[in-house]
Amino acid sequence: MGNLDSLSILVTGGTGSFGKKFIETVLKEHKPKKVIVFSRDELKQYEMQREGFDDPRMRYFIGDVRDRDRLRRAMTGVDIVVHAAALKHVPACEYNPIEAVKTNIGGAENIIEAALDSGVKKVLALSTDKAVNPVNLYGATKLVAEKVFTQGNAYSGTAKTRFACVRYGNVVGSRGSVIPLFKKQRETGTVTITDERMTRFWITLEQGVQFVINSIEEMIGGEVFVPKIPSMKIVDLAEALAPDCKKKIVGIRPGEKLHEVLLSEDESRNAMERSDSFVIFPENTTWRKESWPKSNITDGFRYASDTNEEWLTVDQLKKMM
């Protein structure tokens, strides 16, 4: 029996790339009592059912994470919540900043309040490398959301509800990555690259889903789980996807970094390194009597995409895709 067997699971943003792969994996490899998709787009839910997600254990809730009452209704009898809903497009968040705050920060607050009111056991929220030392609004809202979730355990007190986060980089195959853009651009014979020096972390959907499942099982409340994943230069990514195309340098976009960071120097003081991941422990823990493990990381360590020890080759990326 797996750790998700006989449990009721709700996935916000369940019609997205991650949500669909997570639900597919849970239904195939575990025996959940019920899996609830919570999202605001009825067309995507309809299409998801048409794609084969019509298992009798599936439920589809129309709702927005901005609506706390609807979340409470959806979380009735739920054991696990995986929070994947967010406004994620960097330029869209810059142009619609208040909307980004309402969804990414206000939505996080609503998830916490509804989970506490409904007696949910565990809530795991998805974050991003852009939340580390953020330079754009999307990253800033995800940083706040991380803090809201990790410190949300203080509201739980002695109750059973616990909150934690996972944080990882760009997802190969997701709709929001640069890969679909390069695939479309190669039809024109030219792909656009912002800066030849740029590097990014990469993870597959399957790896992200398994990491989330493992983190749900392991979480105590307050952690941020960070997988060790490979880096790749954007120019190498373009070469893998469009080897015969011209490469046009267009300059770095507003709110964009040359390199991403998954673990900062300040965070590493309160983090534990493991063979395949890092775990960042909260500094303030009023909800936990036991002390967290002491850090085993060298002072000043920074886990960044440009200094990463693991790199993807062009052939390896092709296999991942």
pLDDT value at 319 more than 70: yes
As separate numbers, helices (DSSP H) first and strands (DSSP E) second, the chain gives: 13, 16
Identity of the residue numbered 111 = I
DSSP string, 153-169: HHHHTTSS-EEEEEEE-
Instruction: Give the Å distances, CA to CA, from 171 to 88, 117, 294.
Output: 13, 33, 31
Q: What is the pLDDT of residue 184?
A: 85
Check the CA dihedral 146-122-111-20 and report its sign: positive
Q: Which of 175, 231, 179 is nearest to 200 (CA)?
A: 231
Q: What average pLDDT score do residues 121-136 get? A: 97
pLDDT value at 110 more than 70: yes
Is 28 exposed, middle or buried, given 0-12, 13-18 or 19+ CB atoms closer than 10 A?
A: exposed
pLDDT value at 11 more than 80: yes
Buried b (16+ CB within 10 A) or exposed e, 174-186: beebbbeebeebb
The residues spanned by each domain of the chain are: 8-170+202-228+261-303
Instruction: Judge whether 130 counts as a catalytic residue.
Output: yes
Where in 108-184 does DSSP place strands (E)?
122-128, 162-168, 170-172
Q: What is the pLDDT of residue 12?
A: 98
Least confident residue range of 40-49, 134-143, 288-297: 288-297
Predicted TM-score of the model (pTM): 0.94
Where in 47-96 does DSSP place strands (E)?
58-62, 80-83
Buried b (16+ CB within 10 A) or exposed e, 34-43: bbbbbbbeee
- Could you give the count of Cα atoms lying within 13 Å of 106 in the half-sphere of its Cβ? 13
pLDDT value at 176 more than 70: no
31: Cα separation from own chain's centroid: 23
pLDDT value at 317 more than 60: yes
**224-227/271-273 β-pairing:** unpaired
Whole-number mean pLDDT of the chain?
93
Q: Which of 81, 75, 26, 78 is nearest to 55 (CA)?
A: 26
Question: How far apart (Å, rounded) are the C-alpha atoms in residues 301 and 269?
Answer: 9
Could you tell me what percent of the chain has a pLDDT over 90? Answer: 76
The predicted-structure confidence for 143-158, as pLDDT tens digits, reads as follows 999 999 999 999 987 7
Question: CB–CB of 6/32 below 8 Å?
Answer: yes
Q: What is the pLDDT of residue 288?
A: 86
pLDDT bucket at 300, cuts 50 / 70 / 90: very high
**199-204/231-233 β-pairing:** antiparallel
Q: What average pLDDT score do residues 27-42 get? A: 96
DSSP string, 10-52: EEETTTSHHHHHHHHHHHHHS--SEEEEEES-HHHHHHHHHTT
Total count of residues recorded for the chain: 321
Of 130, 142, 228, 233, which is the active-site residue?
A: 130
What is the third-level CATH fold of 8-170+202-228+261-303?
Rossmann fold (3.40.50)
Top-confidence residue, 78 or 186: 78
Top-confidence residue, 187 or 32: 32
Q: What is the pLDDT of residue 1?
A: 38
The predicted-structure confidence for 250-290, as pLDDT tens digits, reads as follows 998 888 899 999 999 999 999 999 999 999 999 888 888 88
Top-confidence residue, 78 or 176: 78
The predicted-structure confidence for 181-227, as pLDDT tens digits, reads as follows 888 888 899 999 989 999 999 999 999 999 999 999 999 999 999 99
Question: Residue 82: phi, psi to the nearest 5?
Answer: -110, 115
